[in-house]
Amino acid sequence: MPRIPDRQRIAQDSRDKISSGEYGPGFKLPSLREMSAHYGVSAEPVRSALLILQAEGLIEGHQGKGVYVAGDHPASD
């Protein structure tokens, strides 16, 4: 069974939290450092996961303020 890359595992976990409502619209995601510690990885896979989620329109980064769940993220069916 192939190992899931860290960036995909982190992105999927964050997607799940957004779709379940645990991370609602406007929720500020944990910092890069906090997420790295939580997932036991360096900052790079976390950064890559955030870029994936941003490209999907689920999160928005605000320079110097943090990363937030988009207010109009697509509903999951």
- pLDDT given for residue 77 in this prediction: 39
pLDDT at 76: 47
Q: 42 CB contacts (<8 Å, ≥6 apart)?
A: 36
Are 66 and 31 in contact by the 8 Å Cβ rule? The answer is: yes
Radius of gyration over every alpha carbon of the chain, rounded to an integer in angstroms: 12
User: What mean pLDDT, rounded, does the chain reach?
Assistant: 92
| CA gap 75, 1 in Å, rounded | 30
pLDDT score of 19: 96
Q: Helices (DSSP H) in the chain: which residue ranges?
A: 6-20, 32-39, 43-55
Q: What is the pLDDT of residue 72?
A: 59
CATH 3.40.50.300 for domain 6-69: no
Residue 36, pLDDT score? 98
d(CA 47, CA 24): 20
Which residues in the chain land under pLDDT 50? 73, 75-77
Q: State the pTM of this model.
A: 0.86
pLDDT at 2: 83
